[in-house]
Structure 1
Amino acid sequence: MKAFLILEDGTVFEGTSIGSKRDMISEIVFNTSMTGYLEVLTDPSYAGQAVVMTYPLIGNYGITPDMESKKAWPDGYIVRELSRMPSNFRCEGTLQEFLEKQDIPGIKGIDTRALTKILREKGTMNGMITTNENYDLEEILPKLAAYEVGDVVSKVTCDEAYVLPGDSYKVALLDYGAKNNIARSLNKRGCEVTVYPAHTKAEEILATHPDGIMLSNGPGDPKTCTDIIEEVRKLYESDVPIFAICLGHQLMALANGGDTHKLKYGHRGGNHPVKDLSNNRVYISSQNHGYVVDDATLSDEIATPAFVNVNDGTNEGLKYTGKKIFTVQFHPEACPGPQDSGYLFDRFMKMMGGNQ
């Protein structure tokens, strides 16, 4: 069945439908990872977005047990070529079957490199995937212009708290759209991890006397999370060590008077170089974000830059002055991507043990 990808600027790509046949409107973003498509599909940070994979062949090892949450979150999926015959000893099915089961509309057979160039030159924009060959551009374009991602954190967070047992430090993990490997990375270091819904009050968390608090990744514009920002401010005022990733990093900055802005087309992929300013070493990181912290809006009395993006100079992490708090924009738990920055979990362990 034919399918069409219609962009907000009026550009139309024609391809073949994959996954669900329903119409879809979403923000169109691209990811440059060569592998890890299942981790991308099950990353809650993609809620409210349709993902373009720039690597030309997707699905060649099928569906494996490498899911980062219980379901897929992107609104749509866009690929050049979809593998029809996956080959892997862990394969449990095809990507096409997975998209159908998860009710995710998709399109294959389009020039994803050309599409990515448009998104890089004009910036991230909204789009529609439809199988209707009689589509009306005059009717669709105003709908695309009006689409907003909205509050997606409430959509992706867990319904109730749960615990991963451990015999070491007690960590409270705020689930703003957390990937499973964040909790696993702490748990395999011996931590008892209690995962809390995003809107949990700070008082409830602090009443359990955790040794550390983790603020997770998540989707959407951080400035829409006004009630969460208020709770993060209360956590900041405590003396509990805090480690924050991606959206959590942005929320901590906003809670302390900082500002964020939307990037032209975001950072999404597994090959982004970041420099650790404490040792001047460069690490390759996994990233998925469309917003960044303007570190110049935070005085040195509040926080100082800890990491910087080597490609464009944007902020990739902060260390909070006089506090046991550090935050990063990238994903030290990888999944998918390099494991270069996994040492940050060890730094958090030392911080909980009383070392800076």
Structure 2
Amino acid sequence: MPQDAAASHDSSAPPATLALADGTVVHGTAIGHVGLTGGELCFNTSMTGYQEIMTDPSYAGQLMMMTYPHIGNYAASDEDMEAERPMIAGFIVRSFTADPSNPQATETLDAFMKRYELVGITGVDTRMLVRHIREKGVMNAVISSTEMDEAALVEKAQAWPSMEGLELASRVSVDAPYTYAEGDGPRIAVYDFGVKQNILRSFAARGCTVRVWPGETPFAEVQAWQPDGLFLSNGPGDPRAMPDAIETARAACASGTPVFGICLGHQLMALAHGADVYKMFVGHRGANHPVQNLDTQRVEVTTQNHGFAVVEESIGDDVARVTHRNLNDETVEGLRFKQFAGLSLQYHPEASPGPHDSHYLFGEFLDLIEAVEQPAGPADPS
């Protein structure tokens, strides 16, 4: 184990092992809760924001590895939560500190992880592991600070359920509807498949009345609330394993009420209109991805978190046009629909890597609501 990786962490912490499904095994030191956990091993390239990442519901079922080497230096704060608890399955870092410096912190990151029984490992060569994942693709893994038999842990990783075909949104959605904010602006009905708090804050900051509904809510119940706009949220898992949510997206788009989808919601809207979605080899997870707005030609610095993407060739010419494109790999990052008033984004405009590059898209949705007369006609004839 690298000496500097262990130096700033509790020397009394037990050893831990990370075992990948392809047989790769590395050893380090336990952080957080002592136990065993597993999921899809992926990585995030953000230099900061680890607590927001840990609590983002879209990361449910995933072991999160941070590429930035020093983690925990500003501890944990109640203000940095995107959900009520951590959503990741486990945490992997190069160098973890137990001596943070942040006057706004409420507890150390290690204490935060222990409180929520989140298993993690430090003192591993994350650079090597990231290069391995980039070459081999994302795969399942387990972290253990209790069981150390390498062969047994590899078998557990191989037996862990694959993210492909896995429905996870129902595990992170709310149990009952609730009103998040009341304002003088449009009434926004949010389908919660794992919505981030900053999305709700973004609507509330623009004066909207925001009501959040469980992802499994029948559309007729939401429509009875008479919303001015419908929002399909981000969330975890494979959208192709969500037939009821796809039907909900189809009904929403046919209702005449403007619809906005982000991340998983974007994929559900595409699937509802005959497009295909595929599982990416590695996925996009970080806060520095360049995306071009094809209407303005401007490039935005974006935050991304997805392991699935829409197949551009499957989008019918009469269905939608691509409005945003990832400049790293040319994947679809935004759609504007032609047969109804709707737009969708693969990335997260509520996040702040730019820091304000993409906030305008909430305004575009509210403009769309204002412009639509009932019954709605074609939103984008181009």
Q: Same fold by TM (over 0.5)?
A: yes
Any gaps of 5 or more consecutive residues in structure 1? Answer: none
Taking the aligned partners of 1:186 and 1:294, their CA distance within structure 2 comes to 29
C-alpha contact (below 8 Å) 1:181/1:335 kept by paired residues? no
Residue 26 of structure 1 and its aligned partner are, at CA, apart by 1.0
**Structure 1 residues 103, 134: closer, same or farther in 2, change over 3 A?**
closer
Q: Does structure 2 retain, via aligned residues, the 8 Å contact 1:61–1:87? A: yes
Report deviation, 1:322. Answer: 3.1
Of 69, 75, 83, which residue of structure 2 is paired with 1:62?
75
Matched, 1:88 2:102: yes
Question: What corresponds to 2:177 in structure 1?
Answer: 161
Q: Deviations over 1:209-264 (max 9, x none)?
A: 11101111000111111111111111111111111100000001111111000111
> CA separation of 1:134/1:280 partners in 2, compared to 1, >3 Å: closer, same or farther?
closer
Distance 1:256 1:339 in 2: 31
Letter in 1 for 2:315: L
Following superposition, the deviation at residue 136 of structure 1 comes to 4.3
Superposition deviation, residue 114 in structure 1:
0.7
> What are the equivalent positions in structure 2 for 1:1-356 lying under 5 Å apart?
1-64=14-77, 65-132=79-146, 134-137=148-151, 139-148=152-161, 149=163, 150-163=166-179, 164-334=181-351, 338-354=355-371
* Counterpart contact for 1:44–1:178, Cα < 8 Å: yes
Normalising by the residue count of structure 1, what TM-score does the alignment of the two structures yield? Answer: 0.97
Q: Which amino acid aligns with 1:151?
A: E
Q: Secondary structure at the match of 1:261?
A: strand
State the SS of the aligned residue for 1:318: strand
- From the superposition, tell whether residues 350 and 29 of structure 1 become closer, same or farther in structure 2 (CA, over 3 Å): same
- What are the Cα deviations for residues 168-220 of structure 1, in whole angstroms up to 9, with x where unaligned? 11000111000001111001100000000001111111122111011110001
Shift of 1:160: 0.6
Taking the aligned partners of 2:332 and 2:155, their CA distance within structure 1 comes to 34
For residues 297 and 182 of structure 1, do their structure 2 counterparts lie closer, same or farther at Cα, with a shift above 3 Å needed? same
Distance 1:294 1:127 in 2: 28
Moved more, 145-154 or 340-349: 145-154
- Kept after mapping to 2: 8 A contact 1:213/1:241: yes
- Tell me the CA shift for residue 23 of structure 1: 1.0
- Equivalent residue, structure 1, for 2:9: none
How many angstroms does 1:89 deviate by? 1.8
Q: Offset of 1:166 from its aligned partner?
A: 1.3
User: Cα RMSD over matched residues?
Assistant: 1.3
Greater shift, 327-336 or 234-243, is seen at 327-336
Equivalent residues of 2:305, 2:347 under 8 A apart: yes
1:268-304 CA distances to partner (integer Å, 9 max, x unpaired)? 0100010111111110100000000012101110111
Give the deviation of 1:140 after TM superposition.
3.5
**C-alpha distance 336-102 of structure 1, shift in aligned 2 (>3 A):** farther
Cα distance in 2 for partners of 1:135, 1:337 equals 45
TM-score w.r.t. the length of structure 2 is: 0.91
Structure 2: 5+ residue runs without aligned partners?
Answer: 1-13, 373-378
Aligned residues of 2:60 and 2:168 also touching (Cα < 8 A): yes
Asked if 2 retains the 8 angstrom alpha-carbon contact of 1:273 and 1:311, the reply is: yes
Report if the CA contact (8 A) 2:262-2:344 is conserved.
yes
> Distance between the aligned counterparts of 1:217 and 1:20, measured in 2?
28
Indicate how the Cα distance of structure 1 residues 92 and 199 shifts in structure 2: closer, same or farther if over 3 A, else same. same
Note if contact 1:173-1:193 (Cα within 8 Å) is conserved in structure 2: yes
Could you list the per-position Cα deviations for residues 8-52 of structure 1 after superposition, in whole angstroms to 9, with x for gaps in the alignment? 111111100011111112110100000000100110011010100
**Kept after mapping to 1: 8 A contact 2:173/2:192:** yes
- For residue 10 of structure 1, what is the amino acid of its counterpart? G
Alignment partners' CA distance in 2, 1:246 and 1:133: 36
Runs of 4+ in 1 over 4 A off after TM superposition: none
Query: Partners of 2:66 and 2:150 in 1: how far apart?
Result: 27
